[in-house]
Chain A
Amino acid sequence: MNTQGTTHWTRVFVIVAFAVGLLVFISYVADLVKLVIVAVLFAYLLDPLATRLESRGMSRTLATVAIFAGLSLFCLSIFLLFFPGLLRQLEALQTGAIFAQAEAALGTLEVLIEQKFGFLGIENLNLSAGLRRSVDQFEQRAFTYLPGMLSVLGNLVAIPFMMFFFLRDARSMKKGLVNLVPNRYFEFSLNVLQRMDDQLGNYLRGQFLIAFIVGCLSTLALWLLDVEFFLVIGPIAGLANMIPYVGPAFGGLLAIVASVFTTGTFDAVPAVIIAFLIIQGIDNVFLQPLILARNVQLHPLTLVIALLLGGKYLDIIGLILAVPLAAIIKVVLQETIVNLRRYHFS
């Protein structure tokens, strides 16, 4: 083996060791990484809005403050508008009225199963006792969740705080990063960054816009169908819609469970299923083709691996961010490889 070959393998070894080290480091600081990813992503999504405000004569700082003021106002009005409903739903959860209805629904289901499947030897299912045990356990564990709740509140402060600075200083941060690049890769890095921005900008903004629309439609549909917790389930269905294949089904399932448990009957189930099928139809026929015209194509296998990895390392946020992150990694690799072929490095 000649010296050049040895140098090549040394480089490969260093790169692999660096990548492994980085992964280990990320897994240790996963919580912080999650927050930074969410803040960067939201700042990136809002960047065109800030640019538009700048074109009207505002400074970047003023544009960022205006966006944050607008967002705060939006969140506050949503909160005030839906607060009475949300409070009622939370009270229902606290008083256990929901569980009483759930027990009734399970009783109906139990009788139905025993009647239809009695020939299989199914009897004395006692589903209600199972539910009661789960509720008791949940109530006991709720106290242990308290520190977790506090950290969620901390995140709710930390994410907007980081987002503000990422949004305001995005350009100087990019410049600072590019300044670290050696001369020979300077133009190459600028080109790769530009192409990534071209491809990812529309895709990511489209994904979040679709999630927002699906969330609104789901909330509206569940409100029309008198399903309790529509204010909680609707937004969750919107976010879950970003998870391919299982996401939309999860949203629908959640709505069905809520409908059965709160009414104690299966009467509203067909309507909920139809509503979610219509929303999926709107998503696939209108929203996806219109908004994601320049889609980043991801193979189903890539998606499944991304979802598994996202779920493993970054929990629920990881599941939601798995697809955008997979798209980012794909575009970064793709553009780097394509551009490596176009440039001569001396």
Chain B
Amino acid sequence: MHGLWSNLFKPTSFEQETRPLLRRTPIFASLSKRELDSIERIMYRRDYVAGEQIFHQGDPGIGMYIIQHGVVSIVQMPDNHVLAELTVGDFFGEIALLNETPRSASAIALTECTLLGVCQPDLLGLFKRNAKLGVKVLIPLSQITGRRLVEIDQELLVMHHQIAHLEAENSRLAGQPHEHTGNDPLD
């Protein structure tokens, strides 16, 4: 009897593994148990072997992935420049949830991986059915996107200063006075 009782109320793999993982993902962090259940229902669980490509740079993006097990490498072509190595709890490809843009880099499984995929049409369908949940997901998603934009802005600013500095150096070495164009891309 005790065995039956404990079996009936034994936590499922979703409660044990997936739900805590989703809670740690900033996009889904503020969702209730019930809302996390509906997110889980639209998620695809995919297993990859080491070296397998998850998506290819330039392909149309359709959704994001959360790493449940393993390590994923984000690589930029054509020189195979590794942008990041992501591990359990990390997520990638979230921009595709907002817009169908080509993937800016490739994702490759470095080890055996289990990923949870959320695709944009399914998520938008869920927002249609539950607008409150939509707001709870879209706010952190836009905050993350905004933060990335600020980071990229700062990187661009640094690069612009470096270019201006190099141009000035180049002009000085050539013995010509440097004329700044004034076309600051960040203005």
Contacts and interface: CB of A to CB of B under 8 A. Distances in A.
A55 interface: yes
A186 B128 contact: no
B63 A187 contact: yes
Interface residues of A, number: 21
A344 B46 CA distance: 19
A194 B121 contact: yes
A314 to B, nearest CB: 31
A51 B44 contact: no
Given A183-B46, A183-B48, A342 B60 contact: yes
Interface residues on B, range: 20 to 34
A175 B60 contact: no
Contacts of A197: 121
Contact of A179 (B42, B44, B60, B119): B44
B59 A342 contact: yes
B55 interface: yes
Contact of B128 (A51, A171, A172, A346): A51
B41 to A, nearest CB: 7
B61 to A, nearest CB: 8
Interface in A24-57: 51, 54-55
Interface string B44-71: 1110100011111011111100000000
Contact of B44 (A184, A186, A343, A346): A186
A51 B129 contact: yes
B62 A346 contact: no
Given A172-B41, A344-B56, 12 more contacts: A51-B128, A51-B129, A55-B130, A171-B122, A175-B41, A179-B45, A183-B54, A186-B44, A187-B60, A187-B63, A194-B121, A344-B59
Interface of B: 41-42, 44-46, 48, 52-56, 58-63, 117, 119, 121-122, 125, 128-131
7 contacts: A171-B42, A179-B44, A186-B46, A190-B63, A190-B121, A191-B60, A344-B56
